[in-house]
A and B are shown apart, each in its own frame.
Chain A
Amino acid sequence: MPDPQLILQISNLSKTYSNGVQALKNLSLTIGTNMFGLLGPNGAGKSTLMRTVATLQDADSGEVSFDGLNVLREKDSVRRILGYLPQEFGIYPKMSALDMLDHLAVMKGILNRGERKEMVEGLLQQTNLWDVRKKKLGTFSGGMKQRFGIAQALLGNPKLIIVDEPTAGLDPTERNRFLNLLSSIGRNVIVILSTHIVDDVRELCPQMAIISQGEVLLEGSPAQSIDALGGKIWRKMMDDAGELADVEETHRVISTHLVAGLTEVRVYADTHPGAGFSPVDPDIEDVYFLNLSRATRN
């Protein structure tokens, strides 16, 4: 259950772009404190949703409220308590991390010099950028830039933190470090992690939602969603493309993986689907792919 302290309520949000793409279709979500995973394929409407909540763009209809604020109208008040890490962002390449973070802190409204210095230095240490604080941002690696991004998102102790696809393009070490950093942010604020990488959600988020084509497919805790599939996921190893095509005809295939040259097929079935299949413990990826395949069927 969402923590009652802070609630982000998204109600009936719709957005159609001028090119006719309907990015959000009457979407509603309730998000409480702690980490919330927003999972969906590329183009599902995640970024549109994140940008709308982050006051960067307007919706056609619908409401968003947070902590008594009307997010779509009271943008300035929201921006005071918002931390946003965009999916892609630029930096001033000739400026040092320290200088740019300080500049952004002023924009955040931290005008007291001593307070600002303390906060900027604290964040640079927390994000492990202290040793490179005087280096030009243009020389930063992808992971360092992403950590700088989270540092600027944490300016001013935000209560609502939105990180949009933060781990895309990071190597495994950088990704781990980044996820550890995210999980250390604290349990008393809302952190929305939007991603298409299922593992991000599994590792970090007690609550999640899966969205696709502008609609919520599933809302709940990863653990419960996995439990609901108990005994219904089966796998079979095969090396023959013809056999795979047959299985796809007759079963509800939710995913196929290559494992050491063989194809592992996972199917969804209430009862044993036939010879060669063995039961497996479901994981979050099964939840994700099953929901996506349901959505495309309908």
Chain B
Amino acid sequence: MFLHFLWFEIKFRLRAISTYVYFAIWFLMTLFAVSATDFGPIGAGKVLLNGPFALAIFCVQLTSFGTVIISALFGTSILRDFQLDTYQLIFTKPLSKFAYLGGRWAGSMVVSLLIFSGLLFGTAAGTLMPWADKDRMGPFNVWFYLQPYLTITAVQIFFLGSLFFLVAALTRRIVIVYLQGVVIFAIYLIGAIFVLANRSLETFWPSLFDPLGIVLFNTTTRYWTVADKNTHLLVLSGVFLYNRLL
């Protein structure tokens, strides 16, 4: 039954236009970030636009912005039966809570991962655009794409998604579902700017508890050289590892 719910959730999402819109947003954002330097977070300089640093920063920033989308995906998956008033049909069936909740959670997870993979495909496609700056493109390396995606984006979706799913299941209010994504993102942004702006070098603790990874990312890569940024992946060690484990 669990697998049935999982498949159902995925099929259900694949019928929704919003799924494709979200994917397209991510795809286009990174496509332009890579192919047009002014658009992206890297800016002018010598850092490779498709290097590991660039990909990691895409993952960090876009996943943070994606908080709202994560909350919409996970929250509505649990609230759908109340919004559409189908709960009376469903809660009079002898279904197991595990299959119902677990299936929907896992389905949302899969769909979110698919949507956010748009940023990988966008980056890859961006390197191929005719107007892209060929001098700043490194050779294609699958691991440069997958590693930040798995350690940053996937982990983020997992934690935030589960949190939003839980809140939605407990409150059953659609307003809260949409608000929580926005509010968490806003509070976070204020906190992150505060931490980054006071220029303290003691960023271990803020980095450790940073749920979205912007401060963390900044701490970890602060002293990287251009060469580092073009070749190093964020290594799972030190504060980065602790944060991800949390």
Mark A residues whose CB is within 8 Å of B: 51, 54-56, 76-77, 79-80, 82, 84, 86, 88-95, 103-104, 106-109, 111, 149, 152
Interface string of B1-12 (1 = CB under 8 A from A): 100100010001
Neighbour of B92 across the interface among A84, A91, A92, A93, CB < 8 A: A84
Contact pick for B88, options A89, A103, A108, CB 8 Å? A89
Contact of B93 among A77, A79, A93, A95 (CB under 8 A): A79
Do B12 and A92 touch (CB < 8 A)?
A: yes
Contacting pair B1 A111 (CB below 8 A) = yes
Q: Are A90 and B84 in contact, CB atoms less than 8 angstroms apart?
A: yes
Is B85 close to A, CB under 8 A?
yes
Q: How far is the CA of A111 from the CA of B3 in the complex (A)?
A: 11
B91 and A80 within 8 A (CB): no
B93 to chain A, nearest CB (A): 4
Among candidates A56, A92, A109, residue contacting B86 with C-beta atoms closer than 8 Å: A92
Residues of A within 8 A of B84 (CB): 90-93
Q: Determine whether B222 belongs to the interface, using a CB cutoff of 8 Å to chain A.
A: no
In chain B, positions 70-100 with a C-beta closer than 8 Å to chain A are 80, 84-86, 88-95, 100
Q: Do A79 and B92 touch (CB < 8 A)?
A: yes
How many angstroms from the CA of A36 to the CA of B153 in the assembled complex?
A: 57
Of the A-B pairs whose beta carbons lie under 8 Å apart in the complex, a sample of 18, sorted by A's number, is: A79-B94, A84-B88, A86-B88, A88-B85, A89-B85, A89-B86, A89-B89, A90-B84, A90-B85, A91-B84, A92-B12, A92-B86, A94-B16, A95-B15, A104-B90, A107-B100, A111-B1, A152-B89
Chain A residues with CB below 8 A from B95, complex form = 107, 109
Given contacts A89-B85, A91-B86, A92-B86, whether A106 and B92 have CB atoms under 8 Å apart is: no
Give the chain B neighbours of A149 by CB distance below 8 A: 89
Are B85 and A56 in contact, with the CB atoms below 8 A? no
Additional A-B contact list (18), CB under 8 Å, known A91-B84, A103-B8, A107-B90: A51-B88, A54-B92, A77-B94, A79-B93, A79-B94, A84-B92, A86-B89, A89-B86, A90-B84, A91-B86, A94-B15, A94-B16, A95-B15, A106-B4, A107-B93, A107-B94, A108-B94, A111-B1
Shortest C-beta distance, B101 to chain A (Å), equals 13
In the complex, chain A residues whose CB is within 8 Å of the CB of B93: 79, 104, 107-109
Point out the residues of chain B lying under 8 angstroms from A152, CB to CB.
89
What is the CB-to-nearest-CB distance from B87 to chain A, in angstroms, rounded to a whole number?
A: 9
- Looking across the interface, which residue of chain B has its beta carbon closest to that of A94? B15
Closest to A136 in B: B15
Q: Is B16 a contact partner of A109 (Cβ separation < 8 A)?
A: no
Name which residue of chain A comes closest to B94, CB basis: A79
Q: Which residue on chain A has the smallest CB distance to residue B95?
A: A107
B150-186 with Cβ < 8 A to chain A: none
Interfacial chain A residues near B8, Cβ < 8 Å: 103
Instruction: Specify which of B12, B91, B92 lies most central, judged by the most chain A CB atoms within 10 Å of its CB.
Output: B92
Q: Which 4 A-B pairs have the closest CB atoms?
A: A90-B85, A107-B93, A90-B84, A86-B88
Nearest B residue to A93 via CB reads B84
Q: How far is the CA of A94 from the CA of B86 in the complex (A)?
A: 13
Shortest CB distance A170–B (Å): 18
